[in-house]
Amino acid sequence: MTLPERVTIPTCIGCGSLRLFADCEPGCNEEKLELIHAEAYDELAGRLAEQRALLGAVAQAAQRLAAPSSGGSEAGYRAAQEIARAVLRAHPSGGAQETEPEPPDVRTAWWCPECGGIEDWQECLGICVWRPLEWVSRERYAELEEQLVGQRERVARAREMLATLAHVTPRPGHWDQSLALLAAQAGALLAPP
């Protein structure tokens, strides 16, 4: 049995014990399992989605950069500038949050891969009230965190390229050369890592 990406475990609101019982014969063969609240995972996934949305907008801008311009080279460059400005206006923060989230609390529980039972007993406070909470494995959270770091680096480079296009106007006669250079940079940024 493999642990699903998300698992709902009854959790005591008093002491914080986790308990997902299952029957295992002749007895459980428990393994250490590190869990993180699914809310923290979902917040991280939202941040990654913001970064991907910005890169999607950059991809559309890059396709227009690479397309042959109409109306002369200056007109083509100026049209590309407007596209870059529109993307920067639509994504003013680059998808980055104002503050970094606090590192999530990691819970250590014990999981039986034979029956799927999970438990982490805490000292009882005498007010056991159980409610289902969603959890994800620490490994899955770490994978998403790594993706976000890589995506942020790509977004930062994309914003630099867009800012250059939006705010720098080449000298007369260098329109096509500048546009070709920026199109090549955009293509390199959007290539799969």
pLDDT digits (tens, 9 = 90+) for 102-119: 789 999 998 888 888 888
Instruction: For Cα atoms 19, 23, 7, give the angle at the middle one, nearest 5 degrees.
Output: 40
pLDDT digits (tens, 9 = 90+) for 65-109: 766 554 558 888 888 889 889 888 887 775 555 466 678 999 999
Q: Are 39 and 142 in contact (CB under 8 A)?
A: no
Closest C-alpha to 179, from 88, 87, 79, 91: 79
